[in-house]
Amino acid sequence: MRLWLKIVAAMGALSTTAVAGAYTLTRYPALISARYTLTLATGPVGSDGQKVLAAFIRDLSTEHPLVRLVPVPTESLAASAKAFMDGQVDLAVVRSDDQAAAQGRTIFVLRQDGVVVLLPPGAKIERVSELAGKKLAVAKGFDPGLLKSFTEFYGLRTADLIEMSRTEFGSALKAKRAAAAIAAGPLGLGPIPDAFASIRKSFKAKPSYLDIAETDAIVARWPSYSSVEIKQGTFGGTPTEPKETIHTFAVRILLVSRATLPDRVAGELTRLLMTTKAKLVIALPAAAQMEAPDTERSSLLPVHPGTVAYLDGEQESLLDQTVNYYWLAVMIVAIFAPLVGWIASRSRRRRNNAARAKLCRVVELTTLAKSGTADELATADAELERITEWLLERLAADEIEPDHFELIERIIAQLRATIEKQLNHPTTVGAPSKVRLKQGLA
């Protein structure tokens, strides 16, 4: 087989292997050991977010997905963000007001932690601004970022904040040690309805929620927060609470990835989170707060392009990807085959030129064989022997056609026979004469 045909065949085999491997990897990842293994900083052990992610990872392990997650617990969300910024993990759970959220790419919103203001039954306060100068009960462990933004926006003094557990809210409001209570937490089951229950228990009546009407202005000042609504009946109960929709602002707890994460992997993670959410909610009600990120281009925090493609229905199917791989291989062959052919043609032309030069030299030696001296004939015979060796090497390397070799080799053989005859001819200058030899012997 000619060299250029070998090269084209090798490229075709490599392209076929690449297409088959890509198809198998995307369609049947469990059959291939090489999967995407990603490390994930989950936040502190025991937190709602960590529990949800731990359950998610357990469910993933039973499905043999393309993506495998390795959890890395951290002592806080700040530590999770630091591990992400330092490049120690591929994904992390971070707050939307952390620098890591801006550096990474959002995959999913795990929950939103909002602020609520609770008033004792019968309170006459109608606007948050009326709380200025009044004592306020604040739950221990209140989100410092949300509290700072809330107090700065409304001009509330730190000295007026009384820190206590949520279970003490009712007694503090009843004793009028505080005019209102401030709580923060997920927009669902958790600290907010617990604080509501504490006040109701003390007063034997339901407290009221104070609507934060200036949420849009707060978000305009701190864009990392979002304006949200706590829908009527979110916290349940009989009758359900709250009675009306409450406006507030919240910090989002995000699952972010490094920007270099392949789009296909990000889209697969998003798909798995969407499809697994229903199962997680059964065991962990906190999972109900999970939601897909906003895909609007005007969003402050960048969403991963793979996530956007999946949510917008633009992600390629596995079949489409396989077809694309096939056409990519065809294009590669179409581009490189002519180049390989040109290289092979150039190489063949060089070999033909070399063979032609040898043939021309044989023609020159044919002329020499008719009139050369003995020394010239001996030199020509040695050169013809070298040309024969060169031809044998080219024939063994499949760089010369057998019929060409036979033709030139036949000419060389005849020429060497002529040279030998000339060397033995007595008229050749410098050739040994049989007559002289006989006379000398006599």
Question: What pLDDT is recorded for position 329?
Answer: 64
DSSP 316: P
Element containing residue 137 per DSSP (H, E)? strand 136-139
d(CA 79, CA 93): 10
Number of C-alpha atoms within 13 angstroms, CB side, residue 76?
6
428: helix, coil or strand?
Answer: coil
Q: Between the CA of residue 113 and those of 48, 190, 273, what are the distances in Å?
A: 12, 10, 20
Question: What pLDDT is recorded for position 350?
Answer: 61
Strand partners, 247: 229
Number of C-alpha atoms within 13 angstroms, CB side, residue 357?
7
What is the sign of the dihedral through the CA atoms of 274, 278, 280 and 281?
positive
Question: What pLDDT is recorded for position 81?
Answer: 92
430: helix, coil or strand?
Answer: coil
Number of C-alpha atoms within 13 angstroms, CB side, residue 39?
11
Question: What pLDDT is recorded for position 435?
Answer: 31
DSSP 236: B
d(CA 316, CA 378): 76
- Residue pair 50/43 in contact by the 8 Å Cβ criterion: yes
Of 189, 193, 192, 183, nearest in space to 284 by CA: 189
* Encoded tokens for 168: 């003490």
Could you report the per-residue pLDDT of 150-167, keeping only the tens digit for each?
Answer: 999 999 999 999 999 988
Of 342, 362, 346, 343, nearest in space to 405 by CA: 362
Question: What pLDDT is recorded for position 29?
Answer: 45
Question: What pLDDT is recorded for position 328?
Answer: 63
Low-confidence residues of the chain, pLDDT below 50?
1, 28-34, 317-319, 431-442
- Residue pair 97/165 in contact by the 8 Å Cβ criterion: no
d(CA 193, CA 275): 28
Residue reference for tokens 């291939």: 32
- Residue pair 284/51 in contact by the 8 Å Cβ criterion: yes
Per-residue three-class SS string for 70-127: EEEECCCHHHHHHHHHCCCCCEEEEECCCHHHHHCEEEEEEEEEEEEEEECCCCCCCC
Question: What pLDDT is recorded for position 19?
Answer: 62
Question: What pLDDT is recorded for position 317?
Answer: 47
Could you report the per-residue pLDDT of 312-364, keeping only the tens digit for each?
Answer: 876 654 445 555 655 666 666 666 666 565 555 555 556 566 667 777 777 77
Question: What pLDDT is recorded for position 440?
Answer: 32
d(CA 439, CA 130): 146
Number of C-alpha atoms within 13 angstroms, CB side, residue 97?
17
d(CA 239, CA 262): 48
DSSP-assigned letters across all residues of 152-206: HHHT--GGGEEEE-GGGHHHHHHTTS-SEEEEEEESSSSHHHHHHHHHHHHHTS-
Question: What pLDDT is recorded for position 375?
Answer: 78
* Encoded tokens for 406: 């036979």
Measured in degrees and rounded to the nearest 5, phi and psi for residue 73 equal -65, 145
List, in sequence order, the alpha helices (H) in 372-401: 374-396
